[in-house]
Structure 1
Amino acid sequence: MPARDVPLQQLGFLTIGTFDGDDPGPGLEALLVQLELAEELGLDSAWLRHRHLQHGVSSPVAVMAAASQRTSRLRLGTAVTPIAWENPLRLAEDLATVDVLSGGRVEAGLSAGPPMRWDDVKDALYPATADVEDLGYERVSRFLAMVAGEPVAPAATLGAEVYSSRVQPHSPGLRDRVWYGAGSLRSATWAAEQRLHLLTSSVLTGATSADFAAQQAEQVRAYRALHPAGRVSQGLVVVPTDSASPAQRARYRAYAEARLPRTTAPQGPGRLLFAPDLVGTSEEIAERLHAHEAFALVDEVAFALPFGFEHEDYVQLLTDLATSLGPALGWSPATGRAGATPGATLDGDGPAPPRP
């Protein structure tokens, strides 16, 4: 397999922000502290995954708004927002608002198609229209037009009220920071045709073999053939253990082992294929990544944190990502990178201006 010949340029992480259903406040506050820590460590981005009707972040945009006021440099993304749950106009308003508040740091990741448990939730989402809602690419296209500033209604002045023809606030750079979470060759190709950036994760759909790396690499190559300037981010589950306690190491390995059977062959009617979780020292993980055919094709990553662990575990994992695994992959922290804008620190040493 090919090895990387350039250092990793951008290092981020993905989390679902778990909390206690009876007392969600401490878990959500812990998530914000983790985002602050990520900026202090020099990580480039933090991505939030939607967890509707679960004990995880259901409203990443709201969390990103809060995080935008507690960080100054860290890019804040969704990975991904299932567009079927959203009204595209309202989503465009919300993301543009956070983008303005953050100084242009929003990375909006989307996906199309019926969401998980669609038959269970569709009547609550769309009581009268569920069977006629377009859940596919057209819904994403509506969102793209709106964040680009295309008219959605005639401009008007009614008495003292002034109405814009486009979504407000308008954040001019947001359209250029929209990503698509592709799980298949078809969706990767569509993302390239729409000039969207590409999010690849630890799950593929329509798999034809158990060779995850080869099939993911095929998608990346197809995307790049149509959109060479597009960014591609890889989101494998990566668990470095350099500073972990013996108890943490045992727990992490048990977590990965319990999930390993699903990686041996495509699963279910959708032929889902899952990548194995990478658990070990940074040196061990770096060796496995350098042998990963798709990793050799990307220059940025948003490694997924395992879910269901404690705040102290995530602090250890983020610290090892930034101080051990990242450097092993040739990455350097944003705070020490030439030309980088230093981020705010947790001890209150004044935030720097946002990086656009």
Structure 2
Amino acid sequence: MDFSLGEDRQMLVNSLGRFLAGNFDWKTREQVIASSEGWSRDLWRQLADLGVIGALFDEESGGYAGSPFDVGVVFGEVGRALAVGPFLGTLMAGRVLAATGRADLLERVIAGEVILSAALEAATLRAVVAGDGWSLSGSQAVVPFAASADHIVVAATTAQGPSLFLVDKGASGLSIQSYPLVDGGAAGELRLDGVPATLLGEAGQAAPIIEAVNAVALVGLCWEAVSIMDVVKDQTLEYLRTRKQFGIAIGKFQALQHRMATLALEIEQARSAAINAAARFQEGRITREKAVSAAKYTIGRVGTLAAEEAIQLHGGIGMTWELPLSHYAKRLVMIGHQLGDEDHHLERFIALGRESAAA
């Protein structure tokens, strides 16, 4: 099987990698995550000019790529640089806009003019008809870069079923409690009290859209995690080659070599799962959902192993703020819990198998 990315996709990887290496070094990252917003708007506009945001969406939506592999390679380079920004919220909210016919707004997002976030847990919000529009009430926590967003795409429960809505920044009744995240960036808790909102698509028809959006977001997170694992593995190997104990490099100790060999094999398993999630995406709902849940389960398990092994093999220095490795490890652990942890996706994989057998 050919695992090459193809010429166009490889050009995207190379250009994005060079850009982040030249414009998002570690000192810049420290400054960005310490800022009030937790990300750089200037960097985001440059990424938009480079075409990175457009790579997340297809031509019909105003982008130029948009396949799961395109999403994967973008998130992979984001993970390699440990870049922070509204990547996940933009992907998820933008996919909702594309699915519900709001290409006009999405074009401005791709151009870097508008910032989006997404809050797609319908169970925590309630929507009712209010005059000619809709009114939303409830709360939702850990909405990525919520305070920075110009619009937030939210899911809410209605009398017709789960539905999708667009909420504008500054809408009456909307409050956002913002806070920094342990792995960098920022999030916020939404509190809505009779907030006016615009219905996206048809009321009660949100479930399949949300499921598909979550699936492509999971592909992105899995590719991001694999790239982070590669960085963590390489940094740990370099440390084992240079750190000496009893007059020799600790990488000479057979027990540590065995641990790194096991980790390398597990990372390759995670990489295969992430590739499989992208490759099986267009093969029907059950196949797609099983592939992304299998990948997310594997990423959660192997990501935890990679973070723990890297920190343990570095010793006490592995926990320090000054060492980049500790930040990569935090991000790995966080990804393991985003959009469902390994227990959730193992249960989901089993349920999907039963659903497939029953059908």
TM over 0.5: no
User: Relative to total residues, which structure has the larger helix share, 1 or 2?
Assistant: 2
